[in-house]
Amino acid sequence: MRMTKTVKEYIRRNVYVTIDRKEPKFVNLHGYLLDVSPEWTLIYNIVDFHLDGYSIIRNSYIERIRHNKYDQFFDRILKKEGIKKRGKKKLSINIRDFRLCLDGLKKQSLNVIVECENKNTDNFHIGFIKKVDDKTISMLTYDACGIFDKDLAIVKLRDVSLVRFGEEYTRIFSKYLMKSQV
């Protein structure tokens, strides 16, 4: 996917969009585009009529970004419910430099989800970014019981397809972690 006039217009007009993903199929993103770079797209997620955090998706995983009649109808509902106005929130995240972007999330001590969804790797990491270098992210991750893994997860930057943060899931889950390791 490349930055088109249409995508720029979606950002300028702050319209609700659907991002159809190449892989995994049928796992689309919905919400308001905040920024697009040559390699990444930042969207403020909408889930069940609620603003629910942010996703940074690698553009090569995007099949298309659409704003069709269904999205337009949904956009009108969100406007009438007062949700759309809150979707204009600006973030100080630089998606043009992915390493700096991740370092910014690290500095904010945000609980993040990093997904690697490609043919060679299919990983899901949830936790806190501890270190970012030119090739990898080191994360303190935890399991479904809120127990931290003994070793840091090392994720290759080139394998990352999606980063999610600020979601209700991670915000609530992180309140119940074994806090001694954070």
Tens-digit pLDDT profile for residues 42-60: 999 999 999 999 999 999 9
Q: Which domain-ending residue is among 86, 121, 139?
A: 86
- Contact, 124 vs 141, CB < 8 A? no
Q: Where are the alpha helices (DSSP H) in the chain?
A: 5-13, 69-80, 83-86, 98-107, 168-174
Q: Which domain holds residue 61?
A: 5-86
Nearest Cα neighbor of 9 from 33, 45, 25 is 33
Cis peptide leading into residue 24 (ω within 30°)? yes
> Does the residue 109 lie in any domain?
yes
Look at the chain and report how many structural domains it folds into.
2
Q: Which domain-ending residue is among 51, 86, 121?
A: 86
Name the residue type at position 47: V
Model-level pTM? 0.91
Q: How confident is the model at residue 100 (pLDDT cuts 50, 70, 90)?
A: very high
Dihedral angle at the C-alpha atoms of 21, 167, 55, 114, nearest 10 degrees?
Answer: -90
- Contact, 121 vs 111, CB < 8 A? no
